[in-house]
Structures are given as C-alpha cells and as structure tokens.
Amino acid sequence: MEHIEHITREGDRWDTIAHLYYGDAALISPLAEANGHLKLLPVLPAGLPVRVPLIEDAEAIDAQDLPPWMR
C-alpha cells in the first residue's frame, strides 16, 4: 500500500495524526496496521517516522482537512 512518512513532533498522538491526514481522528486503524513495528503509545516521542497509508475512500475525507500536497 502506498504511504507517506510523517515525522512526529512533541505531543503527537495516533488520533491527532489520523485527523491531520484523514480528517477523522477515529481512523487510527490504517495507521496501526501500517506501523505494526511501533508501539501504540498514548503520546508518541518526537522524531519518530510514522507511515501514513494513502486510503482509497476519498469520500470519507474532506479535502479541506488534508495538506495541500494530498488534495
């Protein structure tokens, strides 16, 4: 599956990353599946590379919530 890489910043959580890229904080499952090598910690350490899969269900994503390069 295609993915992009997100480098975590201080305070990043799985749900905030899901909201940032998918526009829905509940879409943690694709992140967890793509990052089985990472622990599902409540708060991620800064500087951690996280794979963010490109999901195909574009209707579930509001394009305004995505970064410009993903629109």
The tens place of each residue's pLDDT in the chain, 71 residues long, gives 799 999 999 999 999 999 999 999 999 999 999 999 998 899 999 999 999 999 875 455 565 666 665 55
Tell me how many domains the chain contains: 1
Distance CA 37, CA 25 (A): 21
For residue 14, the enclosing domain spans 3-70
The closest alpha carbon to 2, from 70, 66, 48, belongs to: 70
pTM of the model: 0.75
> Are residues 8 and 14 in contact, defined by beta-carbon separation less than 8 angstroms?
no
